[in-house]
Amino acid sequence: MDDSQKNYLSDTKNYNDTILNDEMDVVRAYIDILNEYLFHAGDKILIQNHGYYIFVLKRGCDTIKHIFNMVFMYTKNLELTVHHCKKAFLYYVEFIGQIGDDSHAFLQLNSKDATLFVYKKTIFDINNEYKKKIEHTINERKKLRFINVSCNLFNELILSILDNENLKGDTRLSYIMYAQKMICKIFNKFINLPFDIMEKLSICDCFIYYKGLLLTKDINDECKFLNLCNLYFKKIQNNKKIDKTKIKKKLFHKKCKEKLENFTALKFTNWLFN
């Protein structure tokens, strides 16, 4: 095959018949892509209005996640998926950069246009006839579900701390690097848990429930929030058990907010699991 054609999404010769990659390697590839996007966007997207800047950054994360899952699901080719996701975030950032910062009223609409433009350059090229007849084994479906859930988890962790004053001005890139480092530390605890795929999916489901309730408690200190997330998975690593019923009971306890404010992250996590 000609080198110029080896990355064509329209050419089914570039598709694999089976998923050859370990699901952990696929998830790690996604993390690398999203980290590259965030750093590139932090450097290149210049929007003065903080709220609109966060909106555009988040939409880019969601766009990349969708492209990654779609391309990998249909092509089963990780190298091809990585290539098109990197191309996608470059297109997205370039498109947003051309909009400028003059018309906030149209920015949400234009970021949708940016996403659509990127889709046209990537997933719209996936061979439609192949999509209609593709099949996945039971094991592949498990892998794809785990990959999808893991990508969602990583995005949720990133997005939950992006809306921060440190993303303004000169501290922008250093804060993005800090957030990436902390979230990768948390995420690696999850993907390296010594459990099978189905157990990890259940653990992830409980954690997302916990994280969602935590965010309703108005935690203003993102360092404490990240420490709480990290310690949660550290407990799971140490074979501590928890379910949604227990999480709900503790997070709706009448003294939960008081404990959250006054306890260290470690002491609160110990209380949560006990």
Q: Which tens digits make up the pLDDT trace of 197-240?
A: 999 999 999 999 999 999 999 888 888 999 999 999 999 999 99
Domain boundary among 132, 165, 192: 192
Q: How far is residue 261's CA from residue 47's CA, in Å, rounded to a whole number?
A: 34
Mean pLDDT of 131-158: 95
160 belongs to a structural domain: yes
The answer for residues whose C-beta is within 8 angstroms of residue 119's C-beta and 6 or more apart is 63, 67
* pLDDT value at residue 165: 67
54-113 pLDDT, tens digit each: 889 999 999 999 999 999 999 999 999 999 999 999 999 999 888 765 555 555 567 888
Same domain, 87 and 223: no
Q: What is the pTM of this model?
A: 0.91
Same domain, 81 and 173: yes
Tell me the CA distances in angstroms from 8 to 34, 141, 260, one per residue in order.
22, 25, 51
115 belongs to a structural domain: yes
* pLDDT value at residue 174: 85
148-207 pLDDT, tens digit each: 999 999 999 998 887 766 667 677 778 888 888 899 999 999 999 999 999 999 999 999
Same domain, 32 and 160: yes
Tell me the CA distances in angstroms from 80 to 7, 87, 176, one per residue in order.
6, 11, 27
pLDDT higher than threshold 80 for residue 42: yes
Kindly report the three-state secondary structure assignment for every residue of 155-207: HHHHHHHHCCHHHCHHHHHHHHHHHHHHHHHHHHHHHCCCCCHHHHHHHHHHH
Mean pLDDT of 43-58: 85
Domain boundary among 157, 192, 227: 192
224 belongs to a structural domain: yes
What is the length of the chain? 274
pLDDT higher than threshold 70 for residue 48: yes
2 belongs to a structural domain: no
Q: Which of 29, 126, 44, 142 is nearest to 92 (CA)?
A: 44
Q: How far is residue 46's CA from residue 54's CA, in Å, rounded to a whole number?
A: 11
Same domain, 85 and 201: no
Same domain, 198 and 90: no
Residue range(s) defining the domain that contains residue 241: 193-274
Same domain, 83 and 141: yes
Domain boundary among 151, 170, 192: 192
Q: Which of 4, 7, 31, 20 is nearest to 126 (CA)?
A: 7
* Number of structural domains found in the chain: 2
Mean pLDDT of 113-136: 95
Work out the number of other CB atoms within 10 angstroms of the CB of residue 206. Answer: 19
Tell me the CA distances in angstroms from 200 to 77, 153, 155, 207, one per residue in order.
24, 12, 17, 10
* pLDDT value at residue 107: 56
* pLDDT value at residue 267: 98
Burial category of 259 from C-beta neighbours within 10 Å (exposed 0-12, middle 13-18, buried 19 and up)? middle
Q: Are 239 and 199 in contact (CB under 8 A)?
A: no
Q: What is the largest CA-CA distance in the chain?
A: 66
* pLDDT value at residue 221: 86
* pLDDT value at residue 219: 85
Q: Mean pLDDT, the chain, as a whole number?
A: 91
* pLDDT value at residue 237: 96
Same domain, 219 and 145: no
Q: How far is residue 173's CA from residue 146's CA, in Å, rounded to a whole number?
A: 30
Q: Are 9 and 122 in contact (CB under 8 A)?
A: yes
* pLDDT value at residue 108: 58
* pLDDT value at residue 112: 86
23 belongs to a structural domain: yes
121 belongs to a structural domain: yes
* pLDDT value at residue 47: 82
Q: What are the structure tokens assigned to 186, written together?
A: 């948390």
